[in-house]
Amino acid sequence: GFGAGRPSGSGELRGWLAFLDDTPFDPVSLLFAVDAFPPATFEIAPTGWVPTLEMTTYVRALPVPGPLTILHRAQLVEAQRVDEATSVWDADGRLVAQATQLAAIRLG
């Protein structure tokens, strides 16, 4: 993947997120969680700064304690813009947050 300097081309990042001290996530920290991952376009090609132009977040439920599972995907990359979607699940597998984001991008 992009971390090793070899983007997969998928435009998708998956991973887990937890606080070092196991603090449970609350509605405000869920806002952090949906925006914590690097841009999903890093798995398409190396880029520089990818500034957010607009972001909408939905907190669906309070998560149970434990790490969150995050899926961050680039849905459309066109005209120096990227439309990204993020889904966040708690340790029980419940969808607890979703976000869409429009960002500026320069590929290549």
What CATH code is carried by the domain that includes residue 69?
2.40.160.210
Residue with the two structure tokens 């977040």: 57
- Distance between CA atoms of 4 and 25, rounded to whole angstroms? 30
**Token pair of 44, please?**
């398409």
* pLDDT for position 107: 76
* DSSP per residue, 78-95: ETTEEEEEEEEE-TTS-E
pLDDT beneath 70: ranges in the chain: 108
> Which uninterrupted H or E stretch holds 77?
strand 68-78
* pLDDT for position 9: 84
* pLDDT for position 36: 86
Q: Domain of 23?
A: 2-104
pTM of the model: 0.90
Q: Per the structure, how many domains does the chain have?
A: 1
* pLDDT for position 75: 93
* pLDDT for position 108: 67
- Reduced to 3 states (helix: H, G, I; strand: E, B; else coil), residue 28 is helix
